[in-house]
Amino acid sequence: EDQVTQSPEALRLQEGESSSLNCSYTVSGLRGLFWYRQDPGKGPEFLFTLYSAGEEKEKERLKATLTKKESFLHITAPKPEDSATYLCAVRGSSYKLIFGSGTRLLVRP
């Protein structure tokens, strides 16, 4: 069964304090690992898709990386506007998106 575990559940950072969020997964036949950002009261907003181990993608202060068992979302010098819940999802041979429970990030000024 495809499974996604995200850690930590919650993370508090000072503005400018870099850190990483973890997404561990088990999936049969990876057909994409997705990162989404979700603000309170809104739907998930697409950030990245990664397809194979070693792949990296960047967007502003965010960089996503992928290995055969996990993905990391690195946040460099975060700002308060980066505060949100970050969701990881995998798509395997069933073609369904399986989501983790998310990491709630709070960046304090």
Partner 1 sequence: EAGVAQSPRYKIIEKRQSVAFWCNPISGHATLYWYQQILGQGPKLLIQFQNNGVVDDSQLPKDRFSAERLKGVDSTLKIQPAKLEDSAVYLCASSLGDREGETQYFGPGTRLLVL
- Nearer to partner 1 by C-beta: 87 or 107? 87
Q: How many CA atoms lie within 13 A of 96 on its CB side?
A: 9
Q: Which stretch binds partner 1 (CB under 8 A): 13-21, 55-63, 69-77, 100-108?
A: 100-108
Q: How many C-beta neighbours within 10 Å does residue 81 have?
A: 10
Q: Chain-centre distance of CA 2, in angstroms?
A: 17
Among 31, 57, 63, 74, binds partner 1 (CB under 8 A): 31
- Closest-CA residue to 71 (of 62, 83, 80): 62
Q: Which stretch binds partner 1 (CB under 8 A): 32-40, 54-62, 63-71, 74-82?
A: 32-40
Site string for partner 1, 54-83 (x = CB under 8 A): ------------------------------
Residue 48 φ then ψ, to 5°: -145, 155
